Amino acid sequence: MTAIAGQGGGRQGSAETLAPLLSIRGLTVRYGPITALDGLSLDVGAGQVISIVGPNGAGKSSLLAAIAGTVKPAGGQVTFKGQPTIGQPLEQTVRRGIALVPEGRHVLASLTVLENLRLGATIRRDTAEAAREIEGFFKTFPILGERRNKSAGRLSGGEQQMLVIARALLSKPTLLMLDEPSLGLAPKITDQIYAMLASIREAGVSILVVEQNAARALRVADRTYVLNGGIIRMSGTEAELSGNPDFEAAYFGLAPRGGAQ
Amino acid sequence: MIDPAQILIDAVSVGGLYALTALGIGLIFSVMRLANFAHAELVTVAAYMLFAFSGSPVAVAILVAIAAAVLLALATERIAFRPLRGADSATLLISSFAVSMFLQKLLVFLVGSRPKALDPLPALSRTVSIGSLQVSALKLVTIVVCLTLLAALTAFLKWTRFGLQMRASAENFTMSRLLGVRANAVIAIAFGLSGLLAAVVAVLFAAQSGFVQPRFGVQIVIIAFVATVIGGLGNLFGAAVGGFFVGVVTILLQAFLPAELRPFREAFLFVIVIAILLFRPQGLFPARNLKERV
DSSP secondary structure letter of residue B286: P
Residue A210, φ and ψ in degrees, nearest 5: -105, 135
Q: Residues of B with CB below 8 A from A109's CB?
A: 171, 288
On whether any CB of chain A is under 8 Å from the CB of B235, the answer is: no
For residues B44 and B216, the answer to whether their CB atoms sit within 8 Å is yes
C-alpha B189/C-alpha B210 separation (Å) is 31
> How close B168 gets to chain A, by Cα (Å)?
7
Rounded CA separation B286/B280 (Å)? 9
Convert the pLDDT of each residue in A99-134 to its tens digit. Answer: 999 988 789 999 999 999 999 999 999 999 999 999
Q: Give the pLDDT of residue A14.
A: 43
Cβ-defined contact of B179 to A115 (cutoff 8 Å): no
Judge: A91–B183 Cβ closer than 8 Å, yes or no.
yes
* Cα→Cα distances B167→A137, B20, B159, B216, B224, Å: 23, 18, 11, 31, 21
Rounded CA-CA distance B65/B204 in Å is: 12
Q: Is the pLDDT of residue A255 over 80?
A: no
Residues of B in contact with A122 (CB under 8 A): 165, 179-181
Phi-psi region of A81 (alpha: psi -120 to 50; beta: other; left: phi over 0): left
Residues B122, B57 contacting (CB under 8 angstroms) = no
Residue A256 has pLDDT above 70, yes or no: no
Q: Based on the number of CB atoms within 10 Å of its own CB, is A43 exposed (0-12), middle (13-18) or buried (19 or more)?
A: middle
Q: What are phi and psi of A182, to 5 degrees?
A: -100, 0
Of the candidates B136, B128, B116, B99, the residue with the CA atom closest to the CA atom of residue B206: B116
A122: closest chain B residue by CA: B180
| Host H or E run for residue B104 | helix B89-111
Which residues, other chains included, contact A32 with Cβ-Cβ below 8 Å and sequence gap of 6+? none
Written as one string, the DSSP assignment of B144-171 is HHHHHHHHHHHHHHHHSHHHHHHHHHHH
Residues from chain A that touch B164, judged by Cβ atoms under 8 A, are 111, 115, 118-119
Q: Which helix (H) or strand (E) holds A227?
A: strand A223-228
Nearest CA in chain A to B183: A91
pLDDT of residue A254: 63
- Give the ipTM of the model, two decimals please: 0.87
Q: For A162-215, what is each residue's pLDDT tens digit?
A: 999 999 999 999 999 999 998 889 999 999 999 999 999 999 999 999 998 888
Residue ranges in chain A assigned as alpha helix (H): 2-7, 12-18, 60-68, 92-96, 113-120, 127-140, 142-146, 157-169, 187-202, 214-220, 238-241, 245-251
The string of pLDDT tens digits covering residues A12-71 is 444 445 579 999 999 999 999 999 999 999 999 999 999 999 988 889 999 999 999 999
φ, ψ (nearest 5 deg) of residue A77: -130, 145
Domain ranges, ordered by start, for chain A: 45-65+95-251
User: How many CA atoms lie less than 13 Å away from B82 in the CB half-sphere?
Assistant: 15
pLDDT score, position B233: 83
Residue among B171, B182, B183 whose CB faces A108 most closely? B171
pLDDT tens for chain B, residues 1 to 294 = 568 888 899 999 999 999 999 999 999 999 999 999 999 999 999 999 999 999 999 999 999 999 999 999 999 999 999 999 988 989 999 999 999 999 999 999 999 999 999 999 988 988 888 888 888 999 999 999 999 999 999 999 999 999 999 999 999 999 999 999 999 999 999 999 999 999 999 999 999 999 999 999 999 999 999 999 999 888 888 999 999 999 999 999 988 899 899 888 889 988 998 999 899 988 888 876 544 433
Residue of B nearest to A111 (CA): B168
CB pairs under 8 A between A and B: 61
**Contact present, B202 and B46 (Cβ < 8 Å):** yes
All residues of chain B having their beta carbon less than 8 Å from the beta carbon of residue A123 are 180
DSSP state, B94?
Answer: H
Fold of A45-65+95-251: Rossmann fold (3.40.50)
Residue of B nearest to A92 (CA): B180
Contact yes or no for A94 and B288 at CB 8 A: no
DSSP class of residue B36 equals -
